[in-house]
Structure 1
Amino acid sequence: MSQELEMEATVYDGPPIEPDGPYGSKLSATVAKVPGPIRNVTSEAGGMTLLLGKVLWSAVRHPRGYWNDVLDEMHFTIKRSWIAISVALFGFLLALSVPSMQFVALAGVGELYGPLLLVQSTRTFTVWVATLLVAGVVGAAMTAELGSRKVREELDAMEVMGIDPIRTLVLPRIVSVTLITTLLAIPAALITVVSSQFGSWFIGGIPRADFYGAFLWTSLSTVEVVALMFNCFLAGLLIGAVCCYKGLSAAGGAMGLGKAVNQAVVIAFLALFIMQLGYNAVILGFFPGLGAFK
């Protein structure tokens, strides 16, 4: 018997038989050589980009039929989380303004508090805190809801019935979180101004009239406000794409769902940090006067 097997092995003269698996072909074998962490990050980033592209294409191609769901989602989300977001935003920004004013007061340059720290905190820290709160509160709830539907196989049932889950579930949530984050830019800027004014008055002894008259209106410009809102708009798209993708890819029951929610929040935090660096560099490149003292 062993002799027959050896003869058959020697008779075969074809190409080598490639192993089974996801990297069996010659083309995909090159992908298998990429380190696992890099391959996983690239794959997930591509999936999130593809999902966002599908949502934007569906929203632009058929711009009707989903706005009622968007308004309902926005109303439910704002009603559930506006108090937590407002309190946390004021607390974080106040915690920034008080030590910042202490530093400039000890240095004897309290007059630079407005044109330096207020503008910088409005441009960077305000957006950072506001978007992190949206990702941690709204994004986590979005991932948990979509992930629970995925685990219960409701999405598969919708596809069997001819209902597109991307159009029905994902699109309204991405549009709603984008609008919420964009609309949050103005209240967040106002909270930044109030907390900064409180810190300047309580620590530095700067009168309110001097703060609002000399610091605020000469430091913040229309370009700053527009850039702030557009920054929050891009952040909302990023949060929606990351959280919806992780919700749609959840698997493994309750443990897998909790892991997906945790990963969505962490990935959103890191992606927002990277986006802020690139966005502020581009804005300052187009408008270099924003970084100048006034």
Structure 2
Amino acid sequence: MTLPEKEPEAKGQVSIKSNHIPVNTMPSGTREGIMIARTVCDGLPNAIEVERPHRDNGHLFILQEEGTTHIEIDFEEHHIAPSSIIYINPDQIHRLISFENATNTNWIITSENLNQENLNLLESITPVNALSLTPETQALIAETSSLCIRFSARKHEKLYNAILKESCNTLVSLVISQYLAKNTTTDNATRFEVITKSFKILLQRDFATVKSPSKYAERLNISTPYLNECVRATTGKSVSLHIQHRTILEAKRLLFHSNRSVKQIAGELGYSDYSYFTRLFTKITAMTPLAFRNKIFD
């Protein structure tokens, strides 16, 4: 989300639809694949790179300290209020809409620079909404991020890369801890929660090719009814519904960002029966794939 320094292009001169989803990369010369900064913004972003729907090539965190940030994530608008934080996974498509006297601390860190435990935990909690913070927790995260910003400026340090990487991983761990505390009421996750997290990780990786709940159950070495029981108890939705929703989300992304036909998208997402895919999309979204594509470009 970090605003680029280049001159913004005039509206109307940029075509949002392309044959791929734009990925914003960090500026050349960025050390260690980590960027962290505090920004004060009001009004429109005034930068096409963040106003258009895009992905980032790293894990994005936004700490909302003052004011409000309006952002769209995977076709849903979010209004991030003060004393809250939100995490955006590299797979999620998002765009900035506007700011209202917003003071934010934003940081992006690539997967290569996250320690494995943090990376695994982020995969297990995705997607998430903005999380409200207590004043004490907000102050702690703000202080930690300020320290990371100071570290990022000390490029003369002999161990600069290690200092920046480890400090930002500590900051990420602190944020993950808040999400985990919200999602679990006990110190130890229940077996249902552990199985559900494992299922979500498999689903994120294999949704385009594996559509059967029994296949996921087999990979987790449990029965299909037990997998359904775990997932439904934890999320309120069945395994089949999770598979369908994840697939339709990807279909929305492809309808928006590519010129592929609905039949091509259906095949890419593992549906050889184009008619079935259309019925499923309509069931989940209450509109046909073509109606969705036309609506978002109206």
Q: TM-score range by the shorter chain?
A: under 0.3
| Higher relative contact order, structure no. (Cα contacts within 8 Å, ≥ 6 residues apart) | 1
Higher strand share: 2
**Larger-Rg structure:** 1
Higher helix share: 1
Query: What is the TM-score of this pair, normalised by structure 2?
Result: 0.24
Query: What is the TM-score of this pair, normalised by structure 1?
Result: 0.24
